[in-house]
Amino acid sequence: MAQSALSTPLKLKNPLATTVPKLVYGTAWKKQRTAELVYQALKAGFRGIDTAAQPRHYQEDLVGDGIRRAIKEGLVTREELYVSYTLKCVSSIAAYHADTFRSKPSLRPSLVKI
């Protein structure tokens, strides 16, 4: 697939040289079709997937199913993917330091599902 300006990832200035796709596929409100639609998005060229860990709107386990299928079929590698996850925002600097310690445990369920 030829790269366009939109398919060329952004490179962030950090020690890890993180790359972020310019277009990210959102998984909200896909319900039971999530796995298939994530798979189709990866097949179509998306390399960024957004899952916000809100069970009411997102099906993280099905996002993981779609990603695993695409990897198993050789469409993508895990290293090519950028999967975003949203943590709860804090309203003050003091709360930020307290929430820093709570963010790692809040990621664990998502990492297991995806």
Backbone angles phi, psi at 43, to 5 degrees: -65, -35
85, 51 contact by CB (below 8 A): yes
Average pLDDT on 51-70 reads: 85
Domain boundaries of the chain, sorted by first residue: 10-113
Reported as a pLDDT band with limits 50, 70 and 90, residue 104 is: low
Distance separating alpha carbons of residues 99 and 94, to the nearest angstrom = 9
Global pTM exceeds 0.75? no
19, 55 contact by CB (below 8 A): no
pLDDT in tens, 78-99: 988 999 876 655 555 555 555 5
Distinct helix (H) and strand (E) counts, the chain: 3, 5
Reported as a pLDDT band with limits 50, 70 and 90, residue 1 is: very low
Distance separating alpha carbons of residues 21 and 10, to the nearest angstrom = 6
One-letter amino acid for residue 107 of the chain = L
